[in-house]
Amino acid sequence: MKVVLFCGGLGMRMREGGSNVPKPMALIGDRPLLWHVMRYYAHFGHTDFILALGYGAAVVKDYFLHYDETLSNDFTLNGSDRDVQLFSTDITGWNITFIDTGLKASIGERLMRVRKYVEDEPMFMANYADTLTDAPLPEMVERFRASDATASMLAVPTVSTHHVVEMDPDGAVTQVRDFKELLTFENGGYFIMRPGIFDVLREGEDMVPMAFDRLIPERKLLAQQYDGFWRAVDTFKDRAEMEEAYNSGDCPWMLWDTMRGPAS
């Protein structure tokens, strides 16, 4: 199944020290965030990617055009002729289509601009390039396939370190509780769609919530609830925490890695 990844945002909250590296290319370990998302899909056999590019498109293109397999694979270097023999590979067999979709386009507009690459598919997947999870993708695909929904999204518990304050009309506090006790869910990405999504997309609008709002009255939008690991890497602090997890070997999203992933 084809996978559209939205890689065009400016990622202003990720920057520190004047760095202009696009957010999907921020490193976690030796590889960029985008690579981690792609490896998740590849782990389940989905290796046909369409990158909807915007800001930093040249950086993304250059990275894959000059991809170095030795950074994340064991190998033998023959000292006499400098021949490299890889024991395993990352992206061999991947098909990656690079499409410039504009600097200021919304997610919905980016999807519209790659329409011709997916509109003949019975189903396709799409996602942000900055969210990590260990959600069971095959189960999500099968649940969507068995439905008549036009789109589904991962629904994850709302992440907040703040507390909710409840009060009476006079301002007297009646309760203070943890935000997660509200049992609310947020859009976690990891979309699965049918081509009918293009019937509800509009130029100048975003996919969430505008296009999705048109699906709700017809009960054509499916939530895939997941309470396991999920993390949006939106800020420099988020990236630093993921880097720390990587260095400690606690990486539940790295399902493909027996050293750092959940199988370790």
User: Which pLDDT tens digit goes with each residue over 131-151?
Assistant: 999 999 999 999 999 999 999
Q: Which two tokens stand for residue 109?
A: 């507009």
Amino acid letter at 21?
A: V
Confidence of residue 161 (pLDDT cuts 50, 70, 90): low
- What is the rounded radius of gyration, in angstroms, for the C-alpha atoms of the chain? 20
Specify the residue for token string 């920057």: 15
pLDDT in tens, 88-123: 888 888 999 999 999 999 999 999 999 999 999 999
What pLDDT is recorded for position 264? 47
The better pLDDT of the pair 20, 140 is held by 140
Which is nearest to 56 in space by CA: 23, 34, 27? Answer: 23
pLDDT tier at 31, thresholds 50, 70, 90: very high
Beta strand pairing call for 124-128 and 2-7? parallel
pLDDT in tens, 187-230: 999 999 999 999 999 999 999 999 999 999 999 999 999 999 99
- Domain map (residue ranges) of the chain: 2-248
Amino acid 177: pLDDT: 80
Output the CA–CA distances (angstroms, integers) from residue 225 to 69, 148, 201, 241, in the order listed: 35, 17, 24, 24
Which stretches of the chain are DSSP H helices?
33-43, 57-65, 107-113, 137-146, 212-215, 236-248
Q: Which residue reads 């006079």 in tokens? A: 170
Checking DSSP bridges between strand 151-157 and strand 185-187, what pairing results, if any? antiparallel
- Chain centroid to Cα 27, Å, comes to 15
For 2-248, which CATH superfamily applies?
Answer: Spore Coat Polysaccharide Biosynthesis Protein SpsA; Chain A (3.90.550.10)
Which residue matches tokens 């400098």?
82
Question: Which of 56, 45, 140 shows the shortest CA–CA distance to 98?
Answer: 56
